[in-house]
Chain A
Amino acid sequence: MSTLRLRGGRLYDPAHGIDGEVCDLGVRDGRIVALHENEPVDREHDVSGMIVMAGGIDLHSHIGGGKVNLARLLLPEDHRPAPRTDNPLELASCGACTPGTLATGYRYAEMGYTAAFEPAMALSNARHAHMEMGDTPILDHGAYVMLGNDELLLEMLAEGGDPALVRDYVGWAINAARAMGVKVVNPGGISAFKFNQRKLDVDEPHVQHRVTPRQVVHALARALTELAVPHPLHIHASNLGVAGNIASTLATIDALEGLRGHLTHVQFHSYGTEGPHKFSSAALALVEAVNAHPNVSIDVGQIIFGQTVTASGDTMTQIRNAALGSPRKWVGADIECDAGCGLVPFRYRDQSYVNALQWVIGLEIFLLANDPWRVVLTTDHPNGGPFTSYPHLIRLLMDKSFRDEQLARLHPEVAAHAALREIRRELTLYEIAIMTRAAPARLLGLADRGHLGVGAAADIAVYREDADREYMFRTPEYVFKDGELVARQGRIVATPVGGTHFVEPGFDGAIEQRIARYAEHHHALDFRNAAIGRDELCTCANGGQLLVTPCAVHGTNGT
């Protein structure tokens, strides 16, 4: 038994409405407990004056799987300038926008994050994703399996889309891939691309299956509701990056018909067509729709200026972006017609009108949204920028003068006209704690993460108060993972193996016959190897804990 006390810290624990209350925090055997004031403990840290939050949770970060690995292969130069660490605990690993698995774990933990979720796991490549995440130290991890462009689901929908059939198929897929949820990427569009369609609007039929993205979104959202999977359908909407795509985004919200949905990297989906460049911010329209639809949550996908790589399952979009790549190279791939994959290196430039406006749109969404519980802080790592820029992003959100300084450096037309100039709001520590911990935990259904209540996992970040919020969030004084000190003043001091989060919704096993039949005719992989067993997952995940989040009883509504 080991006990720990953090004495005198200022707690920000939005899940319990605690906003900067000074109070001690006790930990026993990796869990938060109520310790008596005089109870002797094994270790005690005086954190008076410091800010104590739960460990950060990134619910959308591309950290594992084929696409991430292809990005590393595409950009070996990203691994060249890595500063060599003198920390003997860190094994060699480097990279900025395509960090190696080890560097991913170290860099996240250093800034107080203790969990990250891979949003785009291909069903047929789930093992690879779990292995890479298992190789990522310290962090707990999980992944959403990509559905909605797989031929079998589209076939089912083309046949009329029997909800029970779709539900069981989705349930099987989540179990087989050991996923935490389901993501749909450009619903039906990646498949349509393979039939030579170059765009697919929400109500436009897939040329082969005659299915629309609206149907795909609704069918998946309904299936997840019936399966009572806690994380709502994770939606990468149609027409990513296209001027005027706010219409598709609003239509996608409409397609949910009140069912829960999580619109991811909405910054890339909030563009209008006004102004001299026929490209404008539709942040207000997006935020109004989100405010009006309590069934909808979002993460932002803020862009950060500089070099990165866009990594997406959305082949239809990436083939369009390939010509904009910098450096000009790209790679696309597909496995088993599951979904797709496209990687295009990209350099966001503050003097580019479009990039500058993208930067502004992301911040406008953060600052206009009125319910932080439905807004998660992300850069869609690495698509908008590497996750290591979160402290910078937090400062932009918390510091109006810093934000204005940055805004003034942008393309002059954007700097002069952006609505962002008039937004005075500065997010509070409480709101940041919601967007980076409490809200993602709640959206994922993680009952014992993202908060500091008794019984929660002792994933804790302690920051030394500093007016420069970027510095403060970059170098937490202490970071604990399951009660173990893993980082001290931005330096890794322990590298435990993280756990794997997943869900196990119930489904009617009869569906397996149909999947097996389909796989036999169309897949290279044997159906009998499709599902990942628990033991195998444990091996894939490097022996880390298997963290099952319960789904409510089969057939009931999980909301």
Chain B
Amino acid sequence: MSAPAAVFELRLRALPRFRVDLAGVTPLALGALGEAEAGRVAIRHGNEALALGELFEIRRRPANAPALHFEGDLSRFDRLAWEMEDGEIRVDGPVGHYAAARLRGGLVAVAGDAGGFAACEMAGGELAVAGSVGDFAAAALPGSMDGMRGGTLVVRGDAGARFADRMRRGTAFVFGNAGDFFASRLVAGTIALGGRCGAHPGWAMRRGTLVFAGETPAVPATFVETGHDLRVIWTLLARDLARAGGPFTALPDRRVRRFAGDIAVDGKGEWLLPE
């Protein structure tokens, strides 16, 4: 038996003094609660516990699907949608670190920028960031062997360094530019980049697909052109990526060259360079 769904509107009262940990504040967790109860949910603020209602004005209204709508500058709020299973979270401004990290399902939409480790180890669902993301987006948490493992990440701005480090499944888009070590140690998955990237793209990537729709990067010595006939797969892939819009819209009309690498490791990854 599921509780009746509800949308919570959470308006930030004032910028908190310390960083706040939002883990556990998910649409499903709050869904069963009333307005007052939701306000009493404990979260960490610096080294102390605080009630959610002390930081946010909370309004609840019944809805068909569980959702949280945050209003305000959440750049000091970390672990938004951490390990979220389902539901929808929308933020009308920026958020802190670990946004949608370990996401399993549902939708997270951020109107501003997101900090470091956005969508890291995400396994399902979607994170859409209208602004930029910090370093290690779609990558692994420190110590973990795998980065993003499923779902979709859409970054309409730029990405920091180590984007998709150790990623092993799923699809990621960066409309703008990416930092150094773009898709380093990639194990699998598909990444499309609309702008240019920093040094060492695809460093030590084992498998996976990188589509450079923007500026064509210099191809390192550990990547080799394969000369395959790609027409069928490219038609399918390009059409799919084009749905994201922006710099990817014209992909189906462009011819593509394929490079394999990084042959310093497994060498089964591919770079698709549209002309």
Contact = CB atoms under 8 A, between A and B. Distances in A.
Interface of A: 74-78, 80, 84, 86, 92, 327-329
**Majority secondary structure, A binding face:** loop
A281 B47 CA distance: 50
Taking each of B49, B141, B142, B143, which has the highest tally of chain A beta carbons within 10 Å of its own beta carbon? B143
Interface string B42-56: 001001010000000
B44 A80 contact: no
Nearest to B21: A84
Interface in B134-175: 141-145
B44 A75 contact: no
Nearest to A92: B47
A77 B49 CA distance: 23
The 7 closest A-B pairs by CB, nearest first: A76-B143, A77-B143, A76-B142, A327-B145, A77-B144, A75-B143, A77-B141
Contacts of B47: 92
Nearest to A88: B47
Given A76-B142, A77-B142, A327-B145, 10 more contacts: A74-B143, A75-B143, A76-B141, A77-B141, A77-B144, A78-B143, A80-B141, A84-B44, A92-B47, A327-B144
Nearest to A76: B143
A84 B44 CA distance: 10
B145 A328 contact: yes
13 contacts: A74-B143, A75-B143, A76-B141, A76-B142, A77-B141, A77-B142, A77-B143, A84-B44, A86-B49, A92-B47, A327-B144, A327-B145, A329-B145
Contacts of B141: 76-77, 80
A542 to B, nearest CB: 23
A131 B47 CA distance: 26
A328 B145 CA distance: 8
Contacts of B49: 86
A98 to B, nearest CB: 10
A78 B141 CA distance: 12
B253 to A, nearest CB: 43
Contacts of A92: 47
A343 to B, nearest CB: 13
B216 to A, nearest CB: 35
Contacts of A77: 141-144
A99 B143 CA distance: 15
Contacts of A86: 49
Interface string B114-144: 0000000000000000000000000001111
Nearest to B47: A92
A329 B47 CA distance: 33
A329 B140 CA distance: 14
A76 B143 CA distance: 5
Contacts of B145: 327-329
A40 B34 CA distance: 56
A84 B46 CA distance: 12
B152 to A, nearest CB: 25
Contacts of A78: 143
A328 B143 CA distance: 11
Contacts of B144: 77, 327
Interface string B31-44: 00000000000001
A76 B44 CA distance: 21
Interface in B47-84: 47, 49
A74 B142 CA distance: 9
A84 B47 CA distance: 10
A78 B144 CA distance: 10
Contacts of B44: 84
A328 B141 CA distance: 16
Contacts of A327: 144-145
A327 B145 CA distance: 7
A84 B21 CA distance: 12
Contacts of B142: 76-77
B260 to A, nearest CB: 25
A82 to B, nearest CB: 13
A92 B142 CA distance: 18
Contacts of A329: 145
A272 to B, nearest CB: 35
Nearest to A79: B143
A86 B44 CA distance: 11
A410 to B, nearest CB: 28
A434 B49 CA distance: 43
A462 to B, nearest CB: 31
Contacts of A80: 141
B142 to A, nearest CB: 4
A77 B140 CA distance: 11
B187 to A, nearest CB: 13
